[in-house]
Amino acid sequence: MRSHWRRSGEVEDHASDLGRESEAYLGGQLAAWLDHHRHRVPEWAWVNALSRSGLDDLVAVDRLTWRSRRSRTWATTFLQPLAADLARHCRGSDQSLAQLQRRFLWPLEARMAAGRGPFGSDPAQLAAIVRTALGWGSGRSAALSDGYPPPPIGRGLGHGRINRIALSILGPASVARRPGNGPPKPPKS
């Protein structure tokens, strides 16, 4: 009987961990949760920190502590600069942040988590891909108040390889429509 309770307790612990891990994922804290539990943080979990965090969390990301040296490197090279840029571009607007996250960062995170993204150990390359996906790769700021940022692909942007990678991650859905343009109109007969 005692072994049954021990096993049952283990199952409850695992279920509790799964619940906390899911909560961390949905709150944009998965990278910190994995690092705290001494797990390797996959590249898509760093994008999760940008795609699911609120403005308050983005501003406070530099106050997080990291256990592993690899996580500290990713946090300082990838997460902190991009979180600051994202908060600055949104100008304190939760609505602007939510638009960018839904339109560009959620699909990027989902494709990477599904194994259809660039995986490597270089946080600077992933930062360039995220910037390109947000429309910042060409040095332009994303248009926030009047609509979505321009598509991240194009000629003469100087980031051809990164643009191809971003397009392969985001797919054709990355082509943004400006409000008011809507779907194509059917031909008049």
pLDDT over 70 percentage in the chain: 61
- Rounded to an integer, the average pLDDT of 38-65 is 91
Encode pLDDT of 11-24 as tens digits.
455 567 788 888 88
Rounded CA gap, 117 and 135, in Å?
18
Q: CB–CB of 104/58 below 8 Å?
A: no
Identify whether 186 is part of a domain: no
Give the mean pLDDT of 38-58. Answer: 92
Question: Higher model confidence: residue 27 or residue 160?
Answer: 27
Give the C-alpha separation, 117 to 164, whole Å: 11
Q: Is residue 154 included in any domain, yes or no?
A: yes
Range 27-54 average pLDDT: 92
Matching residue, tokens 């994303």: 142
Answer whether residue 185 is part of any domain.
Answer: no
Domain count for the chain: 1
Res 19: pLDDT:
84
In a domain, 58, yes or no: yes
The answer to whether position 137 is within a domain reads yes
On whether residue 43 sits in a domain, the answer given is: yes
Quote the pLDDT of residue 184. Answer: 53
Q: Residue 184: inside a domain, yes or no? A: no
- Host domain of residue 139: 8-174
Distance CA(90)–CA(87), nearest Å, equals: 5
Position with higher pLDDT, 76 vs 142: 76
pLDDT confidence tier of residue 10, bands split at 50, 70 and 90: low
pLDDT averaged over every residue in the chain = 74
Q: How many CB atoms lie within 10 A of CB 54?
A: 15
Q: Identify whether 189 is part of a domain.
A: no
